[in-house]
Amino acid sequence: MHGKDLLSIGQMSVEEFESVLELALKVKSNPDDYEHALPQMTMAMIFEKPSLRTRVSFEAGMTQLGGHAIYLGPNDISLGKRESVPDIARTLDGMVDIIMARVFQNESVLTLAEYASVPVINGLCNLHHPCQALADFQTILEKKGSLKGLKLAFLGDGNNVAHSLLEAGAKSGTSVTIVCPPGYEPNKEIFEQAEAEGAKTGAKMLVTNDVKEGVKGVDAIYTDVWASMGQEKEAEERKKIFAPYQVNSEVMKMADKEAIFMHCLPAHRGEEVTDEVVESWQSVVFEEAENRMHAEKAVILKLMIKDID
């Protein structure tokens, strides 16, 4: 992965996906081994959308690796408005060693990667959330001991998180079911690509509108907010449409008795998930949040250091 970009889970090979998770576990258990890995290295962090986890995990992660991160918010850049994306990419290319971008449109990340020679990491866009999925599957691996043969159900909108979970499931041999209202299915192309790759690893991909069918016997239940940033005007209507897909104690009982509950956060308690489930023994949401930093440190190391282990 040295010198490459991380734009989606789908672009990774199975070997690259597995190696990142393996390194993430090492970085987490032995952080001192990597504290001087990136001396004097600088990351530019471009944010079109605000974030707690993305900013702190990347900034703290770079610091812990011996490097430095610069926050560039919407008012600092105005991506594509005050200055074109290609010009921003080429300007940063001469000043920093790696770029992370949390943006609205996937096209922005693709353009940054096209025009910058340094590695570019997709911190989130409308189609993908790769670092979140890496942290999620690291968490599942820690809790379950392996990934192959497991079943995960995602309840809610077929959004960027759902897309990256499908792609990660296909890489790892974990079957993924998207349980959503009619009309809110995941991107067809992304689903079909994950389905094709999953056939090689033993992972089955499914989309259903039936909650009982989707969560029966699964090892993990995952959900996300019903209205993402940029969909605020749809929030009230979405509450009505998605209400039957709330994760509550009754839904958790349909899963395997040892099933874990997952959420990328922030959670709107009382909407997509009840407070009872978030605070239950099955919830791993804050472990997922911490693992964002460890998984991202592993990604940064893989992109910036050749033959890192």
Residues acting as catalytic residues: 102, 129, 132, 224, 264, 292
What is the Cα 34 distance to its own chain's centre? 23
Query: Helix, strand or coil for residue 269?
Result: strand
148: burial class by Cβ within 10 Å (0-12, 13-18, 19+)? Answer: exposed
- DSSP letters along 102-164, please? E-S-HHHHHHHHHH-SS-EEEEE-SS--HHHHHHHHHHHHHHHS--TT-EEEEES---HHHHH
**Residue 269 CB neighbours (<10 A):** 14
Cα–Cα distance between 162 and 234 in angstroms, integer? 19
What are the tokens at 253? 């009982």
